[in-house]
């Protein structure tokens, strides 16, 4: 065979090989395109997991319809009454002084047994407003780390009159701040850039965590949510356990388990708006005695981040971190974009393209 023929044959073989590589890549790309991305959202109770899912509903599912808003209206009104009762209990327990008018209203609350959204009459709204204007109630709210009260209580109590209006329809902010404990498993599905997503949120309380194991199959990436502002608060389930300590323990148990030790993970450091205000008055030392950064927001953030990175020590995967407030929709869009990029890069690496 002449040199020219050998050259032509080699060229054809190279072209055929290149063509096959392109065909294989196109086939793989098509498979990836049709493959569902499964995002598992983990974290302790009240870390903000459900708020993240609500943001995905707003960004990729068209927000909330009339039926959803009706449900949230009922829940928000019930929350308003329950928050008031929690504050009344705390005032009695902590021995905080209130005005005589407030004492009378507090007695009425227990005698009438206000509990449900239907109890939020004009008279009850007036009573709640009067109580919230009492300096003793404001003091109780500032001492909420000594008892169990959602941080959003302040927002709803300030908007008591609007929420009590018979024509009240919850805003996007109202819904994002609404606290409904996750029980069992919540799943939402949507499509972004022709890729189907399945996002799974499971209950964060200890009693709910045993249900997580059924959601571990085929997980593409884990999103772990940390409430950065809860470093001086205790668990609902166990008043002797610090919430930040519990979050670190749970992260260690999940991130370093056999199921996830090689999975890329995004740690979402949430509630930074509350952290920024709290750390001005309460040193991070109350949670971590070894902390030396003082009442400095940036130093506190860096210290918390390093604590979680130390726990997620496996070198076979990457841990990405983001500081955010889950109630900020545009910020959440950026977080989800980062999660998407992480998943796509992992796919390219698996397929040998990077």
The catalytic position among 205, 299, 318, 329 is 205
Instruction: From the candidates 179, 195, 206, 209, give the one annotated as an active-site residue.
Output: 179
Tell me the Ramachandran region of residue 322: left when phi exceeds 0, alpha when psi lies from -120 to 50, beta otherwise: beta
In the residue annotation, 51 being an active-site residue is answered as yes
For the beta carbon of residue 178, count every other beta carbon within 10 angstroms. Answer: 20
Token look-up 């708020």 returns: 51
Least confident residue range of 25-34, 53-62, 175-184: 25-34
Of the listed 51, 84, 228, 342, which one is catalytic?
A: 51
| Residues 52-82 pLDDT 10s | 999 999 999 999 999 999 999 999 999 999 9
Per-residue pLDDT, 214: 53
pTM of structure: 0.82
Catalytic residue among 151, 174, 201, 347: 201
Q: Which of 246, 223, 248 is nearest to 332 (CA)?
A: 223
Q: Cα(348)–Cα(334) distance, rounded to whole angstroms?
A: 21
340 is catalytic: no
What is the Cα–Cα distance from 70 to 170, expressed in whole angstroms?
8
Verify whether residue 119 is a known catalytic residue: no
Does the annotation count 46 as an active-site position?
yes
pLDDT above 50 for 303: yes
3-state SS class at 198: strand
Q: How many CB atoms lie within 10 A of CB 34?
A: 10
Q: Is 328 exposed, middle or buried (0-12, 13-18, 19+ CB in 10 A)?
A: middle
Which residue in the list 46, 134, 283, 347 is annotated as catalytic? 46
């Amino acid at each position: 065979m002449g040199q020219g023929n050998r050259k032509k044959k080699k060229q054809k073989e190279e072209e055929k090989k290149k063509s096959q590589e392109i065909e294989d890549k196109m086939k793989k790309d098509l498979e990836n395109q049709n493959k569902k991305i499964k995002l598992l959202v983990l974290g302790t109770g009240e870390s903000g997991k459900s708020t993240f899912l609500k943001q995905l509903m707003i960004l990729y599912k068209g927000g909330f319809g009339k039926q959803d808003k009706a449900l949230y209206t009922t829940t928000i009104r019930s929350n308003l009454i329950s928050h008031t009762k929690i504050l009344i209990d705390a005032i009695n327990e902590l021995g905080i002084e209130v005005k005589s008018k407030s004492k009378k209203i507090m007695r009425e609350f227990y005698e009438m047994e206000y509990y449900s959204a239907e109890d939020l009459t004009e008279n009850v709204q007036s009573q709640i407003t009067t109580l919230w204007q009492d300096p003793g109630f404001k003091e109780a709210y500032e001492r909420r780390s000594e008892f169990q009260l959602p941080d959003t209580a302040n927002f709803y109590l300030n908007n008591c009159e609007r929420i009590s209006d018979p024509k009240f329809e919850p805003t996007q902010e109202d819904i994002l701040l609404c606290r409904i404990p996750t029980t069992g498993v919540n799943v939402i599905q949507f499509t972004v850039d022709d890729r189907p997503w399945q996002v799974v949120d499971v209950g964060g309380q200890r009693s709910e965590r045993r249900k997580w194991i059924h959601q571990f199959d085929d997980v593409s990436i884990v999103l772990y949510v940390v409430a950065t502002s809860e470093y001086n608060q205790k668990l609902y389930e166990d008043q002797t356990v610090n919430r930040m300590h519990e979050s670190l323990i749970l992260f260690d148990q999940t991130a370093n388990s056999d199921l996830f030790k090689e999975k890329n993970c995004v740690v979402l450091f949430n509630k930074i708006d509350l952290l920024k205000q709290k750390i001005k008055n309460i040193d991070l030392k109350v949670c971590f005695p070894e902390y030396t950064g003082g009442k400095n927001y940036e130093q506190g953030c860096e210290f918390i981040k390093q604590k979680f990175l130390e726990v997620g020590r496996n070198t076979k995967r990457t841990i990405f971190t983001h500081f955010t407030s889950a109630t900020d929709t545009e910020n959440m869009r950026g977080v989800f974009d980062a999660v998407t990029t992480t998943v796509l890069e992992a796919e390219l690496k698996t397929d040998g393209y990077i």
